[in-house]
Chain A
Amino acid sequence: NAGVTQTPKFQVLKTGQSMTLQCAQDMNHEYMSWYRQDPGMGLRLIHYSVGAGITDQGEVPNGYNVSRSTTEDFPLRLLSAAPSQTSVYFCASSSLTGYTFGSGTRLTVV
């Protein structure tokens, strides 16, 4: 029972580089979302999806891109990494009765 799988767990990027954070769920949930966690600010919503082919912006979408081609996968793309994107990123999968979070990706942009 994998739940929500995020890869990689750790990543260091140089300013301007691009990368994709992977997220996969095996619970057949319609809803998936990406959050970033910064000290003292809780978790802030970046992008979310209510089903395959449907995505929308959250609270802090700038600098990030998403797509949802299948129910299982919801990758997050950083187009041109900036130091302000240094954070811990969590992917979540949800039904109307509960959320399941992945274990996170710790990203450092230097």
Chain B
Amino acid sequence: QQQVKQSPQSLIVQKGGISIINCAYENTAFDYFPWYQQFPGKGPALLIAIRPDVSEKKEGRFTISFNKSAKQFSLHIMDSQPGDSATYFCAARIKAAGNKLTFGGGTRVLVKP
């Protein structure tokens, strides 16, 4: 049973375009929602994160939108660049349950020049 569902599985966007990745969760005990970026042969690296009492967080070209009532959150990559080509994972954490992360299935993003 996948507690965090991520879509789409893959995404192709032109340079300068907007990449949008969506995630949905069921467990209302999740208290922290990070996004990770992973390049081939590397471990995931934290990109941006949000807590459920905030509806939006922006860091540079990356924005998380969070809808608590719908139990959904999304990552928007503005002005996408070829260097953004990577796999992106959403995740959710329950601090009280050992600080464990539950990951979505991942989205492979390709930015065409």
Contact = CB atoms under 8 A, between A and B. Distances in A.
A56 interface: yes
Nearest to A55: B98
Q: Which bracket fits the contact residues of A?
A: 20 to 34
Given A40-B105, A40-B106, A42-B105, A101 B100 contact: no
A54 to B, nearest CB: 9
A103 to B, nearest CB: 5
Interface string B73-86: 00000000000000
B54 interface: no
Given A40-B9, A99-B34, A104-B43, A50 B99 contact: yes
Interface residues of B, number: 22
B105 A45 contact: no
A101 B43 contact: yes
Contacts of B42: 103-104
B43 A56 contact: no
Given A96-B95, A101-B45, A103-B42, A42 B89 contact: yes
B101 interface: yes
A39 to B, nearest CB: 9
B101 A99 contact: yes
18 contacts: A31-B98, A33-B100, A40-B106, A41-B105, A42-B6, A42-B103, A42-B105, A43-B44, A43-B89, A45-B102, A48-B100, A56-B98, A58-B100, A94-B99, A101-B43, A101-B44, A103-B43, A104-B42
Closest 5 CB pairs of A and B: A101-B43, A42-B103, A43-B103, A31-B99, A42-B105
Interface of B: 4, 6, 9, 34, 41-46, 49, 89, 95, 98-106
Given A42-B6, A42-B104, 18 more contacts: A4-B43, A31-B98, A40-B9, A41-B105, A42-B103, A43-B103, A45-B101, A45-B102, A48-B99, A50-B99, A56-B98, A94-B99, A99-B34, A99-B101, A102-B43, A103-B41, A103-B43, A104-B41
